[in-house]
Structure 1
Amino acid sequence: MKHVVMPPSIAITLHGLLSTVWRFSASNPIFAAQTGPSATGRLPSVPSVITGGMVALRQKQNDGKFFQTTKRGEIQELKEELHANDKQKQKDAVKKVIANMTVGKDVSALFADVVNCIQTDNVELKKLVYLYVMNYAKAQPELAILAINTFRKDATDPNPLIRSLAVRTMGCIRLDQVTEYLLEPLRRCCQDHDPYVRKTSAICIPKVYDINPELVDDQGFIEILKDLLGDGNPMVVANAVAGLAEISQTCGRDLLELDKGNIPKLLAALNECNEWGQVFILDALATYEPSGANDAESITERVTARLSHANPAVVLTAIKVILKCMEHTENPEVLRMLAKKLNPPLVTLLSSEPEVQYVALRNIRLIVQKRPGILASDVKMFFCKYNDPIYVKLEKVDIMCMLVSDRNFDQVLLELKEYASGVDVEFVRKSVRSIGRVAVKLERACERAMNVLLELIETKVNYVVQESCVVVKDIFRKYPSRYEQVLSALCESMEALDEPEAKASMIWILGEYAGRIDNADELLESFLDTFHDEPLMVQMQLLTAIVKLFLQKPSSTQDMVSKVLQCATEESTNHDLRDRGYIYWRLLATNPEATKRVVLGDKPSIRDDSQYIDKNLLERLSSELSLMSSVYHKYADEFVTRLTLTGAGEDKAAAEDDLDEEDRQASRRAAQEELERGPGVRNGADVGGGLDLLDLGGVGDDSPSRASASAQKVQVLPATQAGQHGQQGFAVSAAFVRQRGTANLLMTFSNQSSGPLSGFAIQVNKNSFGFAPKEALVCPDILPGSSADVCVPMAAGQLPSNTPPASPLLLQVAIKTSLDIFYFHVQFDLSTVLLEDAALSRDEFTPIWQRVGEGGQKVTMINLDRPLDAETLKGRLQAENICYVAQRQLDDGSVLLYTSAQTVNNCSVLSEVTVSGASRQVKVAIRTEAAVLIPLYEAMLSKKLAG
């Protein structure tokens, strides 16, 4: 099945997406001014919120004029207006500054002038100044301290909105210096008489924990959060739960400590707080292990009402809690009742907008696999509508195949046949393959499925015939010697086969049924004529099929089997193909009868488990419904990266920041001179020196190759991880980098087993750029407790690369040792696949730039570690094989750099980089005809240039 690319509009879950919107609206100055608490601490009524929203809308429409900021010399004008005595003029000036900041202009030079306006009684002006301070405090840490006294003063203001705003702003300023001043106001606000202030303080504690965990622990704020779980205000309870959950995720231990004592408090708050407070509480309840059936049933009784909520996030989270409680319920009548209650909300989610449908469908697939009875009778709800987006249709078809049964297979097959007659090629292929899945899954449905496939083959549509061929092969494997009436139809359609998988499937069928197909030898011989031009998959199947044919018709196929064995062993460079050829050759040469039993023997039956998730992963994802992992169907660790810098790492990063480009070039030249004076290492074998070539990774090369810092290896295989047969004791650290014009896989092997390791070999899985080893792995024997460094040069385009690159880029590697076979993957960025000195000329650059146009352009802002001029930035980009093409200067002094980069598979990536004086930001516009490269290119630039 082809991979489905999830649309950007649903790249985060309902929970994350809508909670982001919620938090943004709560922090919006105009919105918050209208919806904050009253002086008595009560939240406003519904009519006041609506009225406030209308006022805010009118204000936003009137404030649009502040975004027209194109005048020259505006910074000086804004300075004068910020110091004006007229308060209205001063407020308008701050709005202009915020407008400039919003559209990406650098107004950090006005920091002191804006902070000077913080001493005011005007709530709207104060909000705007706080917003500015939050954005630029990290760039101006010394000046940010000037606002601390105002923050502390505002934390004791009679107005609860001002108190909460001060605490929230101090928490959003991610500076250790500010954190120290925040502790006392935060502690006081956690015990404030106004619930709005307490709820803001509760969510501020995890922000402080993220900056300084030890300080939060020492000052007892964790205990304060736990005390807030018993607060009388439901929103305070919800924020306390959210804060404890976030800190628990960061520190890796459960701080909620839910038990029978605090569960009733959470359930009581559940009915009174808003929708996002309900999500936080339900997420917490999903982590609670009920003590028995009665405890589980009491929780489900209180949570069931959430299933009819209008917010899909609340519904999915409530379903997650109920599924957890069902595991602790043994009464079949109760389970049946709960399953009946879960059915309507799941079906209702399918009437939402497509993005919500997609998230719901990905979660429903988990629910269907875990408890198929919940939706067993509702397969019609997953029939595709004509206007469904393709990503929704593909998910619905998968769920239909999971729910198909002896009672409904007729209507499912009829529906799939209708889909297979459509015009969307991807969807048609999926539908045809799903017909085969139904046939493999249900024996009773196989006859009907084969009739449908025959009708589809007779349409002679190229891609339909090819998918049908693949499907029929699987059906023959499941039900051998049946439904042979389809063979003639497939043989007549052989000319339409041009895809490797379809060819391989047809060849398998010809070999398996060679005794029943009269001209099987002629058909196989037509493939043999182009043996070396076929993909490996086809070559392997052709070798096996001709051997099968020879065993059934030895007299007439002697020459054919000799030719294919010669092609596979003497003329092929692929290890797997050669090994299989030698095995067949030796079997045929020594014992033909034994060969017949081995090659023509019964095959094990197959079953359709392509869409089913591993049991352990399913259990984990079932407890994470409505989260990102339940949409990706992956462990969160596989796509969430948490960076922890040690003190040494910070010192090293700071030292590297102090180096400018000239210092780096000088260190490279010095390292190269030392390398030329001293002995080195060749492919892991020490030839008598103390200098490790692998650690230098191409330093000193005059061409812009990877610097030594890029060759920093990370552990990719811990010694505790078992190999293919459960063996442990072998550890690998690796890096995949480009050095002196070649992509090299650098590895350090560590032997932590009880015996020596030898017999090393390497194999690389198919990857997006077709990387494969240029030469065999050479590594000396490694004694227990020792390690060895190796360098394996890699060449692109050596393996099939039929999958588009995805972020992050991964190279999947298998290492064979005398101990076991070990598997791991190495992460790398796009710079590894960029060619040196591959700059486009201006005449080559312009047509591509214009052909892609603004429609295919991606614009991003990248923060620099320090302000850079155009020449220095040009050198940095050149060091990453991003070549300079041209430049021009704008009237405001900004410089536009036009660059090009070319990958090993000849895809060009063009960019326009805007450098603005002393700014710590550059604007990058990226255009390429290979759109999948844009996020990879953007991530590489952010990593290489950002501080």
Structure 2
Amino acid sequence: MSGEYLNSITENASRLGLRLQESLSEHTRDIAKGSSSMYYDSPDDKGRDIRKQLDSSSDREKLDAMKRLIALISKGRNVSEYFAQVVKNVASQNLEIRKLVYIYLLKYAEQEPDLALLSINTFQKDLTDSNPLIRAMALRVLSGIKVPMIGNIVVLAIKKCAADISPYVRKVAALAIPKCYDLDPSHLSSLIEIIVTLLRDRSSLSIGSVAVAFEAVCPTRLDLLHKHYRRLCKTLVDVDEWGQIDLLALLLRYSRTMLPRPLLNGEEEEIDKDVKLLLNSAGPLFFNRNPAVVLAAARVLYYAGPPSYHAKIVQPLLRLLSISKEIERVVLSYTLIVASASPALFSPFYSRFILSSDDLRQVKIGKIKMMLIIVTFDNYPTILREFIDYAEDIDDEVAAASIRAIGRCASIISECVQQSLTALIGMINSPHDTIVNTAVVVLKNMVQVQLTSRRPATIGLSQSPLVIISQLARKIDGIRHPQARACVVWLVGQYAGSEEGTPSRLEGVADWAPDVLRKMAKSFSQEASVVKLQVVTLAAKLFVLCPVDRTLGLLNQYTFLLARYDTNYDVRDRARMLSTLLSGIDASVPVTNDIDTPAEREGVVLRREQVRMVLFEGKAGIIDAEPVMTGPHVMIGSSSAVTGKPTLGEPILPDWLEKGVESSLRDTEEDIAPPPVVPIALSSAEQQKMRERVSLTPTSRPDVGAQGTSSKVLLTDLDKFYEEEDDEEKDEDEEEEGGEEEEEESDEEGESEDGHSSNESSQEGSVDDASSEEEDVNTLYRSSIA
């Protein structure tokens, strides 16, 4: 016996050795040929024997040829000349060869429609293959051949695969529906019928692809989802992660089109049960590993749920910020949308938006916007210090964004005006032009708001708005950015006459204002157009404030003469308009047209007070730009929110209806609740009748007959039931004598009746019968209660 066992082990070992040797030899040949990268690195002249390899009888040669063809396609080479040889291998038994042949056919079937039709029969035959992978692959290629004449064949193939037993094949059938619709839209009605069939599919593998087909073919036929809405919500958790994204988008659109809007009555919220079902079904998806699924679930809760549900999306969004830099860029854009509507949700988590040195530029700017939105009285000291530090960032855009945030923070929180002004004034001395220019623009806006608000100054005397303007006026030579220089010139001209009661060399004009005009007139020809416009306006304002000063008048004439011959027509037009206004004050003002005499000038001549009102009054206030772009296309999940620019083709979320459609349209047989189970009382006689079949519906005990009494005891007190059992035994004996026919219905009942009749002959047997009957009653009681 031991010898036979030893021989068997030796024989098996030898067979295993042969198999290992064959396997090693195969792998050795593969290593000798090199990895798959060799097909991409080899020159094109090595592909001359591809046609010979495709006609070879060896699967290894065919596979090598197909790999070379796919490599050439990836390089952008045209290899359509091998189409005839490739089509012949479409029925190969080797699965790898067949995959590559299918890829080749999808690429060149449109260029060779006649030859592609030769493989249609093979694909139709593969639709009946026992391997679901083969069936699915055949349908993918058949639907991917862009030849309009096979549209009917594709529809029949999709209809057949839609009823396949494999959920993977049904998934491929759903994905083939949009391809068929693009190929021939005339098959819309047939494709909708297939979609209706696939909507009944209870497999979580295919339902996500059905949502894709629905959105591509019939996005407006939301009435088809009535009977399936609740089931789709319940199976949402089991769908594959990429299918969950499309299914969530479809259910969100259905809810906003067919369901009533959640209402807020005081502190109570009125939410439709179907809306609540969708919200509760989307909640567990926040724990998904796919960030796209988490964002899709957040989109559902934000746009379909009441405000109480918005707090649930805060932590999932914050979690996604730390996954990767790319995901952080996208998630931060959507977080800005939520925070702009509900800043209080993210205010406690402001520390999560502090900048890191390795953040992307757009991420840094997005975080600055985020902290600006959620700034409050409690956290503004920390956030303002961060903004001041970010002003020294090496990126000019980030530094400029942080300086603008300082000014906006001062307009939001009045308590930080002093600290903001101190920081901005200190930035004017910076050696970096970007910091100086941005700080000047922000200071201009702050000063304008402070002087036009007519409120008591919240800053110290040394930091009054006019003192700030004087400091900017004296540093005009160090400010090089055109926009910043224009802001300073505008401030000087607008508030040059505000220091009434202050001693000055020119009556009604601040001392620093004429000096600014002198400097700007000297460099007028080198200034940008935006600066020239403000210089001409400054000259006109100073002349209106003090028309009697000869030096100021000469400086004004010189400025207008320079503007008269400027190359920019906007500057010339501005000078012509202002010179006409000033003609009523002093006729010596040069006019920038061909009419030189005051008598020949037409139109109304304004007095000095009227000209002053035109130049100084009616200025528009400061309008702060919104940190987040708004619009119907800007929402969670849209590309417009990420790019900051409107994108064509973005889906618009429909508005809620006043009243949704009838809830009964979504009712199914599964939603009908079964009747409640009520335990009942049974006598010992009824126990024998119900021994074979127990009914859990309420019934009443029949009359006993001779005694004319009916005892109906609820099974709520077992001790009471046993006490009344002895009184019922006499009644049961009489009923047993008249019920011999019922004894033949079952063996158990016959044995029980025989036991009762035998127990009548002895006193000792009656005791045993009572104990056995108690056990039967206990059994029936437990079964009725269950």
Q: Settle same-fold status: TM greater than 0.5.
A: yes
Q: Corresponding residue for 1:559?
A: 554
Letter in 2 for 1:306: L
Between the aligned partners of 1:472 and 1:531, the Cα distance in structure 2 is 24
Between the aligned partners of 1:305 and 1:599, the Cα distance in structure 2 is 63
Determine helix, strand or coil for the equivalent of 1:421: coil
Q: How does 1:816-835 map to 2 (within 5 A)?
A: none
Aligned-pair CA distance for 1:180: 3.8
**Contact map agreement 1:234 1:269 (CA 8 A) in 2:** yes
Letter in 2 for 1:510: V
Q: Corresponding residue for 2:774?
A: none
- Change in Cα spacing, 1:530 to 1:179, as seen in structure 2 (3 Å) is farther
Between the aligned partners of 1:396 and 1:123, the Cα distance in structure 2 is 52
Letter in 2 for 1:255: R
Q: Corresponding residue for 1:705?
A: none
**Contact map agreement 1:278 1:314 (CA 8 A) in 2:** yes
Letter in 1 for 2:529: L
Match of 1:581 among 575, 599, 605: 575
Aligned-pair CA distance for 1:311: 1.4
Match of 1:372 among 329, 337, 343: 343
- Change in Cα spacing, 1:60 to 1:453, as seen in structure 2 (3 Å) is farther
Determine helix, strand or coil for the equivalent of 1:637: coil
Q: Corresponding residue for 1:431?
A: 402
Aligned-pair CA distance for 1:58: 11
Between the aligned partners of 1:87 and 1:582, the Cα distance in structure 2 is 88
Question: Does the alignment pair 1:344 with 2:357?
Answer: no
TM-score, structure 1 length as denominator?
Answer: 0.57
Q: Corresponding residue for 2:540?
A: 547
**Contact map agreement 2:241 2:293 (CA 8 A) in 1:** yes
- Change in Cα spacing, 1:268 to 1:189, as seen in structure 2 (3 Å) is same
Aligned-pair CA distance for 1:187: 1.4
User: Where is the helix percentage greater, Structure 1 or Structure 2?
Assistant: 2
What is the aligned residue count? 563
Determine helix, strand or coil for the equivalent of 1:452: helix
Between the aligned partners of 2:514 and 2:355, the Cα distance in structure 1 is 44
Q: How does 1:244-643 map to 2 (within 5 A)?
A: 244-248=214-218, 254-257=220-223, 261-287=227-253, 288-289=255-256, 290-292=259-261, 293-295=271-273, 296-326=275-305, 329=306, 335-336=307-308, 338-480=309-451, 482-515=464-497, 516=499, 517-556=510-549, 557-568=552-563, 570-572=564-566, 574-588=568-582, 589=584, 590-601=606-617, 603-614=619-630, 617=631, 619-622=632-635, 625-637=636-648
Provide Cα deviations, 1:37-64, integer angstroms capped at 9, x if missing partner: xxxxxxxxxxxxxxxxxxxx99999433
Between the aligned partners of 1:546 and 1:311, the Cα distance in structure 2 is 64
Provide Cα deviations, 1:759-817, integer angstroms capped at 9, x if missing partner: xxxxxxxxxxxxxxxxxxxxxxxxxxxxxxxxxxxxxxxxxxxxxxxxxxxxxxxxxxx
Question: Does the alignment pair 1:233 with 2:203?
Answer: yes
Between the aligned partners of 2:177 and 2:32, the Cα distance in structure 1 is 33
CA RMSD of aligned residues (A): 2.6
Question: Does the alignment pair 1:79 with 2:51?
Answer: yes
Between the aligned partners of 2:175 and 2:32, the Cα distance in structure 1 is 29
Between the aligned partners of 2:313 and 2:299, the Cα distance in structure 1 is 10
Between the aligned partners of 2:152 and 2:528, the Cα distance in structure 1 is 64
**Contact map agreement 2:301 2:310 (CA 8 A) in 1:** no
- Change in Cα spacing, 1:325 to 1:386, as seen in structure 2 (3 Å) is same
Aligned-pair CA distance for 1:387: 1.2
- Change in Cα spacing, 1:444 to 1:227, as seen in structure 2 (3 Å) is farther
**Contact map agreement 1:543 1:565 (CA 8 A) in 2:** yes
Higher RCO (CA 8 Å, separation ≥ 6 residues): 2
Aligned-pair CA distance for 1:573: 5.2
- Change in Cα spacing, 1:546 to 1:286, as seen in structure 2 (3 Å) is farther
Between the aligned partners of 1:75 and 1:236, the Cα distance in structure 2 is 41
- Change in Cα spacing, 1:639 to 1:626, as seen in structure 2 (3 Å) is closer
**Contact map agreement 2:302 2:310 (CA 8 A) in 1:** no
Provide Cα deviations, 1:269-297, integer angstroms capped at 9, x if missing partner: 21101211111111112212132423333
**Contact map agreement 1:440 1:608 (CA 8 A) in 2:** no
Between the aligned partners of 2:70 and 2:451, the Cα distance in structure 1 is 72
- Change in Cα spacing, 1:442 to 1:604, as seen in structure 2 (3 Å) is farther
Q: Corresponding residue for 1:675?
A: none
Between the aligned partners of 1:499 and 1:143, the Cα distance in structure 2 is 68
Letter in 2 for 1:621: V
Letter in 2 for 1:629: S
Aligned-pair CA distance for 1:183: 2.0
**Contact map agreement 2:205 2:240 (CA 8 A) in 1:** yes
Letter in 2 for 1:522: D
Runs ≥4 residues deviating over 6 A: 57-61
Between the aligned partners of 2:565 and 2:617, the Cα distance in structure 1 is 29
Between the aligned partners of 2:639 and 2:162, the Cα distance in structure 1 is 31
Question: Does the alignment pair 1:106 with 2:78?
Answer: yes
Question: Does the alignment pair 1:67 with 2:52?
Answer: no
**Contact map agreement 1:477 1:603 (CA 8 A) in 2:** no
Question: Does the alignment pair 1:154 with 2:123?
Answer: no
Aligned-pair CA distance for 1:435: 1.2
- Change in Cα spacing, 1:235 to 1:522, as seen in structure 2 (3 Å) is same
Determine helix, strand or coil for the equivalent of 2:42: coil
Letter in 1 for 2:107: N
- Change in Cα spacing, 1:64 to 1:554, as seen in structure 2 (3 Å) is same
Provide Cα deviations, 1:402-423, integer angstroms capped at 9, x if missing partner: 2222332221110011111232
**Contact map agreement 1:286 1:321 (CA 8 A) in 2:** yes
Between the aligned partners of 1:373 and 1:60, the Cα distance in structure 2 is 64
Provide Cα deviations, 1:843-876, integer angstroms capped at 9, x if missing partner: xxxxxxxxxxxxxxxxxxxxxxxxxxxxxxxxxx
Determine helix, strand or coil for the equivalent of 1:232: coil
Q: How does 1:756-775 map to 2 (within 5 A)?
A: none
Q: How does 1:747-826 map to 2 (within 5 A)?
A: none
**Contact map agreement 1:167 1:204 (CA 8 A) in 2:** yes
Q: Corresponding residue for 1:132?
A: 104
**Contact map agreement 2:110 2:147 (CA 8 A) in 1:** yes
Q: Which ranges in structure 1 are unaligned for 5 or more consecutive residues?
A: 1-56, 330-334, 641-947
- Change in Cα spacing, 1:224 to 1:180, as seen in structure 2 (3 Å) is closer
Aligned-pair CA distance for 1:184: 1.4
Letter in 2 for 1:551: V
**Contact map agreement 2:188 2:217 (CA 8 A) in 1:** no
Aligned-pair CA distance for 1:346: 1.5
- Change in Cα spacing, 1:224 to 1:306, as seen in structure 2 (3 Å) is same
**Contact map agreement 2:237 2:284 (CA 8 A) in 1:** no
Aligned-pair CA distance for 1:431: 1.4
**Contact map agreement 1:199 1:240 (CA 8 A) in 2:** yes
Match of 2:87 among 115, 131, 150: 115
Between the aligned partners of 1:300 and 1:408, the Cα distance in structure 2 is 33
- Change in Cα spacing, 1:413 to 1:553, as seen in structure 2 (3 Å) is farther
Letter in 1 for 2:340: Q
Provide Cα deviations, 1:113-159, integer angstroms capped at 9, x if missing partner: 11111121221111110001111222222222222121111122121
- Change in Cα spacing, 1:392 to 1:140, as seen in structure 2 (3 Å) is same
Determine helix, strand or coil for the equivalent of 1:271: helix
Between the aligned partners of 1:522 and 1:630, the Cα distance in structure 2 is 48
Q: Corresponding residue for 1:889?
A: none
Determine helix, strand or coil for the equivalent of 2:421: helix
User: Where is the strand percentage greater, Structure 1 or Structure 2?
Assistant: 1
TM-score, structure 2 length as denominator?
Answer: 0.68
**Contact map agreement 1:304 1:318 (CA 8 A) in 2:** yes
Worse-superposed segment, 370-379 or 61-70: 61-70
